[in-house]
Amino acid sequence: MSENTLLSIKPIPVRERLIFALDVPTPEEALALVDQLGESIIFYKLGMQLFMTEGYFGLVEELKRRGKKIFVDLKFFDVPETVKNAVANLSKRGVECCTVHGSQAILEGAVAAKGSMKLLAVTVLTSLDRGDLDDLGFQCDVEELVYSRAKRALAIGCDGVISSGLEASRLREGLGDKLIIITPGIRPVENRPVDDQKRTVTISEAFQCGADYVVVGRPIRQAADPRAKAEELQGEIARVFGV
């Protein structure tokens, strides 16, 4: 195992640390990709694109039937009571975790309704950079904003956060091992930056900075052989954790 003290010590099976972003237009295409990936992926993230189809929850049930784990990434953001009720309904679906975004009252409502489901607060989207935050009126340092939001979320009762790998080390050092850190925006060195993800890191960098899980989408989905690419990344993760 790496000597890096920020490497996650949570008892997570190594092959479950890679979450695949199942961002395709239809449930049929999603299942075809799941078939193609086979046992190379255990944990799937389902976001808004598939949510806007008729088969979202049917897909959730099918993935569960196949023994997969599910991360519902819908970034709930509405009046607190509405978010609370949405989270309460989702908590009955048997998914592992979901995302929520917003004020203290919104997070408090979600925490009250999450049951055994893990609740993950969004800090700052990895598609935003310093210029975007200036446009939105945030004058503080990005790292400070992420840390402040993560600290508040943990105090409220959230289980973890979604955070760029660029800020993960500050979160791990300042907030300890209890916090779950999921890092999206993972890009191989040769692919940075080529798309709408701006604050990116590699898989090794993310874990060495304290991430518990990484989310990878396009580098796998757009590969000539998605399963081979997923297995390549699984091998990289195994090497980081010395297994």
Among the options 45, 64, 75, 198, which is catalytic? 75
Given this model, what pLDDT does residue 148 score?
87
Q: Which of the two residues, 159 and 199, has the higher pLDDT score?
A: 159
| Residues near 12 by beta carbon (within 8 Å), at least 6 away in sequence | 212, 213
The fold of the 14-240 domain, in CATH, is TIM Barrel (3.20.20)
Give the integer Cα–Cα distance in Å for 17 and 75: 21
Give the integer Cα–Cα distance in Å for 75 and 213: 18
Q: Which of the two residues, 143 and 27, has the higher pLDDT score?
A: 27
Give the integer Cα–Cα distance in Å for 193 and 32: 29
Nearest to 172 by CA among 1, 8, 3: 8
Tens-digit pLDDT profile for residues 81-115: 999 999 999 999 999 999 998 889 999 999 999 99
Q: What is the value of pTM for the model shown?
A: 0.88
Tens-digit pLDDT profile for residues 177-204: 999 999 998 866 544 444 444 446 899 9
Task: Based on the residue annotation, tell me whether 198 is a catalytic residue of this protein.
Answer: no
Domain ranges of the chain: 14-240
3-state secondary structure string across 7-66: CCCCCCCHHHCEEEECCCCCHHHHHHHHHHHHHHCCEEEECHHHHCCCCHHHHHHHHHHC
